[in-house]
Amino acid sequence: MRFSLSSWDVKKVVEELSFLPGTHISQIYYNEHSLRIRLSALTERLPEMLKSGGEGRYSRFDMIFKLPGALFILPQGVAPPSPPPTSFAMALRKHLSGSAVEGIEQVGGDRIMRLRLRRGEEEAELIVEMFSKGNIIMVKGGEIALLLRREEFASRKLQPSLPYTPPPSTLPLCVLEVEGVGEEVGEKVRRSGRRAIAAALVKELSLPPPIAREVLHRAGIGERTPAEEAWESYVYWLEDEVLTSPVELRHLTREGERHPTYLKALLSIYSSLVGEEERKGDVTEGVAEEDQNRLERRLKMQREALERLEEEMKRCRELAECIYRHYGELQGIVEIYDSSGGDPKALIGLEERGVKEVDTKKKVALVEVDDQLLGRVELELPLDRGVNGAAQLYYERAKTARRKIEGLRKAMEETERLIRK
């Protein structure tokens, strides 16, 4: 399975990486189109999904760019062992090891990420271009000091000693968040003439096709409507609905796997990709002795991942059953929501009913209950789906974990077979 991020995905991932400033680069690896940056940070500053990579006050985690277009943020120990360093990795280490991350940003609304770094008095930028063949560029003193490959285009050159110039961009996604930008957006799309409105949104605004289709679905506009004829309620959905993260794709008719954040979705995708590679027999038959240790480390990580997935499956089933044990009190919360005409704000301030948080955009309440079997637990209550829908949501998550367990067990069997040879 091939996987790459769109410019929209990059925008959302950068938003979720707001915890990066203050982290430090502890190691850098590069091999076969994969850049791995190992970062360390105070454990308390990190999202829960990254806290397993360390002991005590500090945790380590990996930022992995799979060129040209993929990025994964993983707890330490999830990715396979790193290969021996290449000359390019050694050059990056020389300049950047020990650097503090001061910021991360998307460049020009494109599939480009820029890390702003500092080591002592030295400032540097590490830029990763995630399109075409992909490229890695280090900038110091306003000039390119190191890059993976030299390239020349009609609009720019990527060579040492030249300033870094990004590619010409379309209307940046960030512009869509400026109040009153609707007229500019509408005019830009309208100039596409008889082109289908879905294709115009993709071309002119750099929206990925699924997001363009979602915008039109919410606005009630047919995808094949000529751009010059489409009425512009899609601008409302861009400004007030779809510019939230993550975006629920309501136009899809098939139920998919749901994740609360982009980073968790990327972790799930990475697990699927690794499992797929292993099931294809990516490991060479008749391994040498030095490969034996690598396989044993892989098996150890697979066992740890299996333990996490089994715990997740068990927990989701327990929470689904817990919902039914507290059906009455949860139904009371849903009825308050229904009687308000479907306004989730009606639940704000209902701490006495256990309502801890209310996500008004997603229409999900976080409710704490005191359960006789599990103790005090927090439950997600999707208000439009009701109590039965909430239980079904946890059962679906348990099924997803079970499918991953089945795939992981097959991969473990293959690893064990190779160890025995």
Tell me, what DSSP letter sits at residue 247? P
- Flag whether pLDDT at 395 surpasses 90: yes
State residue 54's pLDDT score.
Answer: 46
Average of per-residue pLDDT across 396-404: 87
Contacts of 310 (CB under 8 A, 6+ apart): 401, 405
**Are the C-beta atoms of 93 and 35 separated by less than 8 Å?**
no
Quote the pLDDT of residue 336. 92
Cis check: omega of the bond before 68, within 30 degrees of 0: yes
For residues 197 and 156, what is the distance between their CA atoms, to the nearest angstrom? 31
Mean pLDDT of 56-71: 86
pLDDT of residue 230: 65
**What pLDDT score was predicted for residue 243?**
47
Q: Does domain 7-158 have CATH number 2.30.310.10?
A: yes
Q: What whole-number percentage of the chain has pLDDT above 90? A: 35
Q: Does domain 173-242 have CATH number 1.20.81?
A: no
Would 7-158 and 173-242 be classified into the same CATH topology?
no
pLDDT band at 182; cut points 50, 70, 90: low
DSSP 37-94: EEEEEEGGGS-GGGGGG-STTEEEEEEEEETTTEEEEEETTSSPPPPPPPHHHHHHHH
CA angle, residues 67, 68, 74, in degrees to nearest 5: 45
**Selection from 17-26, 52-61, 188-197, 260-269 with the highest mean pLDDT:** 17-26
pLDDT above 50 (res 115) = yes
Range with the poorest average pLDDT among 115-129, 214-228, 237-251, 303-317:
237-251
Please tell me the predicted confidence (pLDDT) of residue 248: 54
Q: What is the mean pLDDT of residues 163-189?
A: 62
Domain boundaries, the chain: 7-158, 173-242, 283-420
Residue of 100 and 283 predicted with greater confidence: 100
Percent of the chain past pLDDT 70, that is, above it, reads 80
Report DSSP state, residue 301: H
Q: What are phi and psi of 261, to 5 degrees?
A: -140, 160
What dihedral do alpha carbons 346, 357, 323, 263 form, nearest 10°? Answer: 130
Assess whether the previous peptide bond of 163 is cis (omega < 30° from 0): no
pLDDT of res. 1 = 47
